[in-house]
Structure 1
Amino acid sequence: MNIGDRVRLVHGREEGVIYAFLPGNVVEIEIEDGFRIPVLRNEIVTISPVESQRMVKTDEPKKVAGRAEGVVPRNAPFAEKGIYLAFISVNDRALTVHVINNTDWILPFTAAATSESVSTGLAAGVLQPRSSQKLAEVLMKDFESWPVFDVKMLYFREGSHQLPLALNKRIRCRAQSFYKNKGKVPVLGKDGFVYQLDEENLKREVPGISEDIAGEIKASMLGQSAPEQNSLSKPEQVVDLHIEKLVDNHKSLSSDTILKKQLDVFESNLESAIANGMDEITFIHGAGSGALKNELHRRLGKNQHVQFFKDALKEKFGYGATLVKIR
């Protein structure tokens, strides 16, 4: 027997792959969903490649549906949200990392781990509805040095409709928020630590807006090198959101367009600050009508990576800036 051999338990129905040989004539077997169990060596037998092929169940003949049976209800419910990154304990030392699709979308995706500006590919493929894929394994003792997990996804479904904007999410695990995310992992039905990736996604955009992400996913799935993209650079400690600092010709812009631009800059800088491990960042929003400040505070209050926020340096900014403390 060697590591990687497929085996079956003599007195059970479980099958798996040999992961490691342990002291005391014990073998560690990795079974479904990446979970491992220790068994005595004399309690397992190797499955030969020929036997594996013979044991594969042939597909049952498909029933030809009548015309009425093949009609999809016009208003059939469609689960649009439910994409997660989950950490599930293997034992008291290690956890496995999974990407979960608990929606009715078909999701082409790539997943990578970024540490000290070096990105390592974890997986690429297509997540079918109500499915999951294991990405990696991490050790609790290395928690403080875990990488940033970078997940990119496209949305697909049959028929005519307007697709949501491609999902591009970076997750950096912080101790306080990590343990608050303990709960039941969707699809897998196991206890773990769960981050929802599409909590504020599903914005509809015009076709073609996500060509860079589409190119990266396609290249990864074909085994090619992905096109070079700029990683999230570390933002300034203080970010000025006054519109004249963001665009050259702002006088012709409507109030709604100005607010959207300011919020986009706020979101991108906050995400970059979190991904780069910054402890805090300050946003200058001015006093004005209070619309920008109120919306910033609303979003900050919902962000799981924000420890707290407050008025920043009143003697310098008055009530026109907010200091954000990151977990």
Structure 2
Amino acid sequence: MNIGDKVRLLRAKEQGVVSRFLPGNMIEIEIEDGFRIPVMRSELVLVSPMEADRLLKTSIYEPQKTVAPSAPTILSNQGIYLAFIPVNDREYTLHLINNTDWEFPYTIGEESAASGGGVQFRGLQSGVLKPKAQQKMNDFYAHAKFEEWPTFVVQGLWFRSGKASLRAPLLKRFKARAATFFKNKTTVPVLNQPGFQTQLDVDAATPTESSTAPSSNRTTGTHSRPTTIRPDDLKAEMLKSKSESAGVSIERPSSVVDLHTEALLPNGTGKRTPADLLTLQLDTFDKSLENAIASGMHDITFIHGVGSGALRTELHKRLGKHPNVKFFEDAQKQKFGYGATKVTIK
């Protein structure tokens, strides 16, 4: 130990520099305050040059700052739409709208009846829709061929960078029905243009996470209110003249619709499977019922036969859930037995 060495006390916090040696194995050190104190040699320990250099330097680190927690981010979790925008009075363009705060990887296509039976799928487009974005499809859809429009199929996933709850994939099919489609004219979000739209994720589960709050109206800060539909107003709208209902031509069905495959396919069933035939019968039923409602018919009768009862059971299941059906019953038992159902429309 030499004069000028950096030392530290073993049983105290002080440290200093050796200034001189005293009798009796004592050493005088100059501490940081400038005072000199005598200390027993055995109570001192040398500080290594590297440690001494570090101790002499002022800390380069600033004190940590207390950061107030940020407010939770309010996410828009629902808002995937199919929108049809009128190009003129004859054609529409199809758009996929993402009005959420999530990225939406998607595929969209069309399902239609195949010439040889069954259902065929035609892909339209795929990609990733950014939040608050839209994608226009290349095809045009003619107003005059509304009844021939295909079933649109949209598949999608949900993605957000960082921590987020896992959401179930979206798979939706949409078939435009005259009775309801032309009631949905509104200003389409993101595009801010008038058009006809349907929401695809209205039943999608909202993810649970600490940074997510229920979807709300971002402009006013209030929750959106569901639209109230009055049956009388809906029926009155359906009974409007063609000029009042955007020029839509509704084919009024016969008061008795025969769903037997022989009546639907007079040239034979071809290679259609039983499942294909059932799908054809149900599609004919849906179309006839919707057109009957839209054209203001009071009732309509469907001949489904007895058979295994599968078709009758499915028809009654759908009729029981339909909002515009007043009641239904077995019809013309003397003629059809239990092979026909009469539907009374509200």
TM-score of the superposed pair, with normalisation by structure 1? 0.45
Structure showing greater Rg? 2
Q: Identify the structure with bigger relative contact order (alpha carbons < 8 Å, sequence gap 6+).
A: 2
TM-score of the superposed pair, with normalisation by structure 2? 0.43
